[in-house]
Amino acid sequence: MKKDLLKLLDLSQEDITLILNTADQLKYEQKHNIHRDYLKGKTLAMIFEKNSTRTRVSFETGMFQLGGHALFLSGKESQIGRGEPIEDTARVLDRYCDGIMIRTFGQDEVEELARNTKIPVINGLTDFCHPCQVLADLLTIREHKAVLEGLKLCYIGDGNNMANSLIVGGLKTGMEVSIACPEGYDPDSQVLDFARSDPGFHFSLFRTPQEAAAGADVLITDVWASMGQEGEKTVREKAFAGYQINDGLMALANPGCMVQHCLPAHRGEEITAEVFEAHANEIFDEAENRLHAQKAVMYLLMKDQ
């Protein structure tokens, strides 16, 4: 494993498998009330410049379960919010803590933080990628399907941070990946270049959900307007009309097709209430697995600090 988890592009297939296997073990131990303080005496600084429910609760709970301590640092209430350079914050936290998790807007901020500290930095979300969420997705798919390699993963919606990380994570674990998004809302060009860089990858970008969903083993979607895009809501509703996981789309997928959603879900927009509720167990397994996947990341990165 590398020192940090900044984006899935940095990880090898072996790194991802190690994280998933470690998450399986930690989940097994928790379910069987086996308590080991793997990170006893360790402290994780959690920097939030974007609001959060699942990220904050899962990281904070995960550190507690591993025997460590998590500190919540709001961007509005810390010196970052008052203009302190990120490199100065990094050098201070390096002397206090054993790891940093940051949930923010720019990927460059996360990369800069990592460059200026010797302790691990974990990307809790940026506008570019959402690696911890997709590790949880992969963990959930593997739990339900037993394998990842050879499955077809289909994402419907905005080519946002979720799409970027799903493409990378899916291809690196041997999945076929298809994406459907409207013109002008494609995934990041860096990710598309990666997806087309290896003749062994099976990747397709479509403009219609029906083409993308045909033969899928997993259908995934996200909100049409992500955090910070609320002002584009009306424009995006028009652009994404029809980009919805519904019964018609499910009928095109393989029998037993899973559904995943990173939440929060807007029923009636990117997914119907009927499909959401029919696959609620899978979706909330996915939400739970944020905890286990992130515990694995924290353990692997912070145990030797």
Is 79 annotated as ligand-binding? yes
Is 190 annotated as ligand-binding? no
Q: Which of 103, 142, 236, 292 is catalytic?
A: 103
Is 91 annotated as ligand-binding? no
- 103 catalytic, yes or no? yes
Is 132 annotated as ligand-binding? yes
- 267 catalytic, yes or no? no
Is 290 annotated as ligand-binding? yes
Q: Which of 236, 279, 290, 292 is catalytic?
A: 290
Distance CA 99, CA 117 (A): 9
Is 161 annotated as ligand-binding? yes
Query: Both tokens of residue 106?
Result: 């720019």
- 262 catalytic, yes or no? yes
Transcribe the chain into DSSP letters: --S-BS-GGG--HHHHHHHHHHHHHHHHHHHTT----TTTT-EEEEEESS--SHHHHHHHHHHHHTT-EEEEEETTTSGGGGT--HHHHHHHHHHH-SEEEEE-S-HHHHHHHHHT-SS-EEEEE-SS--HHHHHHHHHHHHHHHS--TTPEEEEES--SHHHHHHHHHHHHTT-EEEEE--TT-PPPHHHHHHHTS-TT--EEEESSHHHHHTT-SEEEE--SS-TT-GGGHHHHHHHTTT--B-HHHHHHSPTT-EEEE-S---BTTTB-HHHHHHTHHHHHHHHHHHHHHHHHHHHHHHTT-
Is 52 annotated as ligand-binding? yes
Q: Which of 137, 262, 285, 294 is catalytic?
A: 262
Q: Which of 65, 130, 137, 292 is catalytic?
A: 130
Q: Which of 97, 107, 129, 133 is catalytic?
A: 133
- 290 catalytic, yes or no? yes
Is 133 annotated as ligand-binding? yes
Is 53 annotated as ligand-binding? yes
Is 104 annotated as ligand-binding? no
Is 69 annotated as ligand-binding? no
Is 137 annotated as ligand-binding? no
Is 33 annotated as ligand-binding? no
Q: Which of 4, 127, 158, 222 is catalytic?
A: 222
Distance CA 137, CA 177 (A): 14
Distance CA 39, CA 213 (A): 42
Is 95 annotated as ligand-binding? no
Give binding residues for L-ornithine as ranges: 161, 222, 226-227
Give binding residues as ranges: 52-55, 79, 103, 130-133, 161, 222, 226-227, 262-263, 290
Show which residues are catalytic: 103, 130, 133, 222, 262, 290
Give binding residues for carbamoyl phosphate as ranges: 52-55, 79, 103, 130-133, 262-263, 290
